[in-house]
Structures are given as C-alpha cells and as structure tokens.
C-alpha cells in the first residue's frame, strides 16, 4: 500500500504499479471506507488525498448552525450524526451546549424552523421547553423570525 499524501489518478497508478482503471477502483474502495478525500474535478484535475485513519465529514450541529447563521462557530468537538438531523435538533443541541456565543448563533435557526411540534417534542424530552421559548423571544426582539404557533407560546 502506498503511504499518505496527495495524488492524481495517474500518479497513484504509477506509484502503485496498477493500471489507471485498477487504481481508480482501488481509490474508490478506499474512499468508501473513509481513507480518501477528493478535491477538484470539473476543469481541474481530481486530487485524491490519502489518510492513515478514516476521515468522516462532520454533519451535525456546527455544520447546520454555520449554514444558516451569519455568526459562524468554530467547532469545539466533532459532531457526527447518523440519520436525519434537522434545524429543530440543532436548536435543542445549541441550548444544551449553552454558552452565550452558541446561543446567539442558535437563535438565528428560528428563521428556518419547519416543524414546531418536533421542536417542542424534543424540548419536552430534554426538559427545556422554557429555554426554547426564552430563546425564541430573544430572537424575535433582535430580528425577523417565523411566527411560533399559539399553542406553543404558553
């Protein structure tokens, strides 16, 4: 096996002594296992970066917050989620993390809530319904957000 580094398909094939198609198949298998990340493509050459340990993308709290909030957060930890992770889940996680900068960035997510029932079911499960309402009211004072249904305002 070739060591870590950056390769094009041609350089990887030459280094490993494989044909171009066999090298492509090998890189594809390594990519499925998480050992290869790919950059480039289109008009650029694809660059395959080989790692010693599997590299899995972060798809959790910080990626959702940084997608929707103008205040970007540097991840304090790697948060990987399997399955469906929505804005409603991210609001609950932001409240549970609880520092002021995270709460400020999380408050912007109220613009994108689609399922209020899911949000309040999760809040009830974690026992933070009051904190969700407080953060919503704070967000409502600072900028325009979607209206919360009346049955959840109690």
Give the pLDDT mean for 59-66: 91
Q: What is the pLDDT of residues 75-119, one digit of tens each?
A: 988 888 888 999 999 999 999 999 999 999 999 999 999 999 999
Give the pLDDT mean for 113-131: 96
What is the SS3 string spanning 52-120?
CCCCCCCCCHHHHHHHHCCCCCCCCCCCCCCCCCCHHHHHHHHHHHCCHHHHHHHHHHHHHCCCHHHHH
Q: Would you say residue 48 has pLDDT above 70?
A: yes
5-50 sits in which CATH class? mainly alpha
Sign of CA dihedral 72, 61, 58, 44: negative
Domain regions of the chain by residue span? 5-50, 61-152
Backbone angles phi and psi of 84, in degrees to 5 = -85, 120
Of residues 49 and 55, more confidence is placed in 49
Give the pLDDT mean for 15-25: 96
Of residues 39 and 59, more confidence is placed in 39
Tell me the whole-structure pTM to 2 decimals.
0.72
Q: Would you say residue 1 has pLDDT above 70?
A: no
- List of residues 6+ apart from 54 with CB closer than 8 A: 33, 34, 35
């Amino acid at each position: 096996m070739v060591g870590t580094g950056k390769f094009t398909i041609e350089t990887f094939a030459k280094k490993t002594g494989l044909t171009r198609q066999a090298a492509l198949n090998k890189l594809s298998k390594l990519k499925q296992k998480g050992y290869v990340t790919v950059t480039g493509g289109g008009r650029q050459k694809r660059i395959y970066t080989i790692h010693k340990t599997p590299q899995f993308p972060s798809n959790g709290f910080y990626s959702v917050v940084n997608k929707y909030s103008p205040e970007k957060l540097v991840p304090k930890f790697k948060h990987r989620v399997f399955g469906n992770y929505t804005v409603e889940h991210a609001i609950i996680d932001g409240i549970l993390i609880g520092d002021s900068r995270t709460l400020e960035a999380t408050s912007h997510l109220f613009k994108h809530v689609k399922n209020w029932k899911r949000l309040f079911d999760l809040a009830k499960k974690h026992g933070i319904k009051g904190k969700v309402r407080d953060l919503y009211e704070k967000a409502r004072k600072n900028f325009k957000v979607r209206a919360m249904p009346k049955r959840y305002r109690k």
